[in-house]
Amino acid sequence: MEEKNLNAEKKETITIKKEALWKYSTFALLGIIILIIVGGLFFLQGNSITGEVTGTLGGEMQRIVISEKDLNYYPNEIKIKANQPVSITLDSSVKGCLRSFNIKDLGISKYAKTPSETIDFTPTKKGKFRFACSMGMGYGNIIVE
């Protein structure tokens, strides 16, 4: 009777051609370089830009025009005065979900379909409030002083 060794290991050899290895490692390196560049662009984009408010003389309407730049609101930091009415306009560069403007902590939510529609409110409490589109992709801060 013949005995079989059940624990015998089967050895297999995998052969990779140098050309294929070089090609795959080049693609991997290129992918890493692209990720570093894209990450750097997002890092640089994170620097806030402070917006100027016009029309605040004598408690008049504070008018703000917001644009879209690099798939985000521009400016993404705006300073306004408390207890004075504010009118925000999203100009024609603002597209898609960024037209749905929300300041959750102030109870503001409006879809401004065209640049002629405004988002009007009067902030009664001071502080820093985050604004964002309905999907949270575009965002910024309103500082009420």
pLDDT in tens, the chain (145 residues): 555 555 556 667 777 677 766 677 776 777 677 767 655 544 444 434 445 454 444 568 999 999 999 999 999 999 999 999 999 999 999 999 999 999 999 999 999 999 999 999 999 999 999 999 999 999 999 999 9
Distance CA 80, CA 144 (A): 5
Q: What pLDDT is recorded for position 33?
A: 72
Q: Name the nearest CA neighbour of 113 among 98, 132, 103.
A: 98
What are the structural domain ranges in the chain?
Answer: 14-45, 50-144
Q: What is the DSSP letter of 18?
A: H
CATH of domain 50-144: 2.60.40.420
Q: Residue 140, class by beta-carbon neighbours within 10 Å (0-12 exposed, 13-18 middle, 19+ buried)?
A: buried
pTM score: 0.61
